[in-house]
């Protein structure tokens, strides 16, 4: 439109005076029409651009919303796992505390059992020595028994003294003779013979 108006106004320069005036009017009309068309195109371009921006903005908003929902879901999952782990850690710590109490009690029991074992070993050693002495006495009695009809009397036994008592009796002067006390022999039981009579 602007090109056509420019050509017509240039052509009016060559003609008479009224043609010149008509050319100026044509140039002004074509310029006004060109401006109007340009403003219309600019307005349409702005609207198209605004519409594109609105579409992009809405798409961006949707993307942000979906990303936010995804992040919230991930955060909920991680929070749930962290809570489960926290409960598991608390349970394990409670179990560890209980096991420590049990270990302490078992250590106490172990000390008590060890003390009882030491006492039992001492008792067993004493009993073995007593059995050995009784076996010797029994073997001596069997060896000296002349016949099955003979009467058996118990022999006096020696009483064992502690080393502290021996040291006190010796007076700390080295070797001395110590009188060992003897136990009184058991008297024979004649009740069985009396019952028969």
Q: What is the DSSP string of 85-136?
A: HHHHHHHHHHHHHHHHHHHHHHHHHHHHHHHHHHHHHHHHHHHHHHHHHHHH
Q: For residues 40 and 32, what is the distance between their CA atoms, to the nearest angstrom? A: 12
Q: Is the pLDDT of residue 42 over 70?
A: yes
Could you read off the pLDDT of 111-139 as tens digits, one per residue?
999 999 999 999 999 999 999 998 888 88
Per-residue pLDDT tens digits for 21-34: 676 677 777 777 87
Residue 148 has a pLDDT of 60
Q: How does the average pLDDT of the chain come out, rounded?
A: 78
H or E element, residue 139: helix 17-144
| Residue 142, pLDDT score | 76
Question: Would you say residue 188 has pLDDT above 90?
Answer: no
Residue 9 makes CB contacts below 8 A (sequence gap 6+) with 23, 24, 26, 27, 30
- Counted residue by residue, the chain has a size of 197
* 7-11, 55-59, 147-151, 181-185: the lowest-pLDDT one: 181-185
C-alpha dihedral over 136, 137, 143, 144, to 10 degrees? 150
Domain boundaries, the chain: 2-90
- Dig out the tokens for 35 from the structure: 């401006």
Cβ pair 157, 183 in contact under 8 A: yes
Q: How far apart are CA 43 and CA 49, in angstroms?
A: 10
Q: What is the pLDDT of residue 69?
A: 94
- 57-81 pLDDT, tens digit per residue, is 999 999 999 999 999 999 999 999 9
Lowest-confidence pick of 49-53, 85-89, 143-147, 181-185: 181-185
Beta bridge partners of 180: none
Residue 81: both structure tokens together: 């796992």
Looking at the predicted structure, is the pLDDT value of residue 171 above 70? no
Which pair of tokens denotes residue 175?
């070797």
């Amino acid at each position: 439109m602007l090109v056509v108006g420019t050509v017509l106004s240039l052509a009016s320069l060559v003609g008479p005076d009224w043609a010149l005036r008509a050319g100026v009017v044509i140039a002004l009309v074509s310029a006004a029409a060109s401006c109007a068309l340009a403003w219309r195109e600019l307005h349409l371009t702005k609207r198209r651009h605004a519409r594109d921006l609105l579409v992009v903005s809405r798409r961006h908003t949707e993307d942000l919303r979906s990303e936010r929902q995804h992040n919230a879901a991930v955060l909920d999952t991680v929070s749930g796992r962290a809570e489960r782990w926290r409960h598991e850690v608390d349970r394990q710590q409670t179990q560890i505390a209980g096991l420590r109490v049990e270990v302490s009690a078992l250590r106490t029991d172990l000390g008590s059992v060890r003390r009882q074992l030491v006492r039992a070993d001492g008792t067993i050693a004493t009993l073995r020595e007593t059995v050995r002495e009784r076996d010797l006495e029994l073997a001596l009695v069997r060896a000296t028994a002349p016949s099955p009809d003979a009467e058996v009397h118990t022999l006096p036994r020696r009483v064992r003294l502690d080393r502290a008592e021996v040291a006190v009796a010796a007076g700390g002067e080295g070797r001395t003779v110590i009188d060992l006390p003897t136990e009184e022999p058991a008297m024979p039981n004649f009740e069985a013979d009396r019952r028969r009579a």
